[in-house]
Amino acid sequence: MRASPGEKVFYAMNYMVLTIIGISCVLPLIHLLAISFSDQPAVISGHVGLWPVGWNVESYRLLIKGTQVLPAFGNSVKIMVVGTLLSILFTIFAAYPLSKRYFYARRSFTLMMIFTMLFSAGLIPNYLLVKQLGMVNTYWSLWLPGLISVYNTLVLKAFFENIPAELDEAARMDGCNEWRLIAKIYLPLAMPAIATLILFYAVGYWNMFQNVLIYINSPLKQNLTVIVQQMIMNSMISVDQYLRPEEAIQVTPESIKSSGVIVMILPMLIVYPFVQKHFVKGVMIGSVKG
């Protein structure tokens, strides 16, 4: 069907608006990347735009030598990997029974889960509960309170519900129990949705900030997000302390802070292309019934 003149104008306006939004999101990152690789005089004078002026990597070297970025990077990886594995595992365990019509009181359990999306106890009761359980200053305080996302569970539940019942019946006739049914039938078919949810969980754990500030007291256990925020807010980097005088003149605190931001966002930029092919299909699950 050919688009009408009005539809063509509408599509053109959509492309224009989306292009402007995309450029406005990318340009600040390109600017930070240019600052992180630019020479000190260019950064101080404000002549750095979207392309590095000069070229040096001393800011990244100082970032590694003079800050807690490397230990914090390792903490972020640990929080993200373990948290994502636990969250996706228990999301599957929650979504599978809720997708079965024969599961007793599945409607009541679903409504109770949705209730938590609308109402919560609040920050202070949550902290008191975590403290009472002895999880303060441990990573369990980051993993357990938000172990399952209700939204992600409902997305995966809708995917499981769209799997033909004939596959379920045929597998049971061949002797599959529930565990083999999940492992051999449901999980392979649900990989687009699971890959999308893994991305959601991974980004959430990697960017976790408020919970780390609240529950983690030890600086040695803080993640990269908190360390970079402290670098930006407190200017805690002493250039002269970690570099020789001839090296110190090549960097500025601004270039080091920019390097920290780039290091923080780089892992997600690397991971995203590997799950992009599943992303669109995964987020559309459950939008069409039939």
pLDDT tens digits for 10-36? Answer: 888 999 999 999 898 888 888 888 888
Ramachandran bin of 46, using left for φ above 0, alpha for ψ from -120 to 50, beta for the remaining angles: left
Q: Does residue 288 carry a pLDDT above 60?
A: no
pLDDT, average across residues 275-284: 60
DSSP H helical segments within the chain, as ranges?
A: 5-36, 40-45, 58-66, 69-98, 106-118, 123-132, 140-143, 150-162, 165-173, 178-181, 187-189, 191-206, 210-215, 224-234, 239-242, 245-248, 253-283
Which residue type occupies 268?
M
Neighbours of 18 (CB within 10 A): 10
Residue 182 has what DSSP assignment? I
pLDDT, average across residues 59-88: 86
Q: What pLDDT score does 238 carry?
A: 53
Give the integer Cα–Cα distance in Å for 82 and 222.
15
Q: Does residue 50 carry a pLDDT above 90?
A: no
Distances (CA, A) of 268 to 83, 146, 162, 197, 207: 16, 20, 30, 14, 10
Contact, 114 vs 262, CB < 8 A?
no
* pTM of the predicted protein model: 0.81
Contact, 82 vs 267, CB < 8 A?
no
pLDDT, average across residues 1-8: 74
Q: Which position has the token pair 């995309």? A: 22
Distances (CA, A) of 159 to 110, 185, 287, 288: 15, 13, 10, 11
Arithmetic mean of pLDDT over the chain: 81
Q: Does residue 255 carry a pLDDT above 70?
A: yes
Q: What pLDDT score does 290 carry?
A: 42
Q: Does residue 1 carry a pLDDT above 50?
A: yes
Q: Does residue 129 carry a pLDDT above 80?
A: yes
Longest CA–CA span in the chain (Å) reads 76
The more confidently predicted of residues 277 and 206 is: 206
pLDDT, average across residues 43-58: 76
pLDDT, average across residues 100-129: 85
Which residue type occupies 169?
E
Question: What proportion of the chain, given as a percentage, has pLDDT over 70?
Answer: 87
Identify the burial level of 49 via C-beta atoms within 10 angstroms of its C-beta, where 0-12 means exposed, 13-18 middle and 19 or more buried: middle
Confidence bin at 249 (pLDDT 50/70/90): low
